[in-house]
Structure 1
Amino acid sequence: MSKAYTVMAPTCPSRVVLHRIGARWTVFVITALADGPMRFSELKAHIQGITPKVLTETLRALHHDGLLERTDLGGQPPHVEYALTDLGRSLLEPLAAVREWAETHVPDVQAANARHSS
């Protein structure tokens, strides 16, 4: 029997999961890894505007939550690759829908902001 979760309940663990998905850089990292594994430097170059510190923190959190895997390829300096797990891949479709909504509704949101700034 599965446990029922409701994000609206203040102590529900689903809030932690939703917080991770809604974290500022999660969408960018998950989306960047959609086409396959990437090294840290590749991710940093691909996700414009993210600092190394924040990228490191985001990768650690996503790894901890089972959304991505970290593979140490050895070498000197160390070479590490990040890839989505099956759980992480399951986020691609819902995140793509949110991304499409955001890109489609930019003019609407900008117009609302302009109305409220006047």
Structure 2
Amino acid sequence: EKSLEECIEKGTQAAKALTELEKAHADLQKSHSDLQTSYTELEKNHSDLEKSHNESLESFNRQNAALKSTLIDLQKKSTEIQTALATDLQKEKAQTESLKKQKDMLDKALDDNKAKS
């Protein structure tokens, strides 16, 4: 009799253990499924982020190229303006010298005229 009771008790314990094991297995399967879903979302987010990064990089490169081109144009214009200013300055100096010589000649003529008078 004791042996039968022990067998029943052990059978009940085994059934409980099996139920707990099945529940743990089901929980593990759900966790695995959740993990797969999370991983899939992570891969999609990574792909979206990579795409966005590439688009931003392309946009940056286009803007950078446009800025470089603008800078080159501005440098050319600056050089042209500096050259024009240098040329104008030389002309101004030459005119100033010419006017100075003319003034000196007029002053001398005036002095000569005063001396004759």
Structure with larger Rg: 2
Same fold (TM over 0.5): no
Larger RCO: Structure 1 or Structure 2 (Cα < 8 Å, ≥ 6 residues apart)?
1
The structure with the largest helix share of the pair is: 2
Bucket of the pairwise TM-score, normalised by the shorter protein? under 0.3
TM-score w.r.t. the length of structure 1 is 0.19
The structure with the largest strand share of the pair is: 1
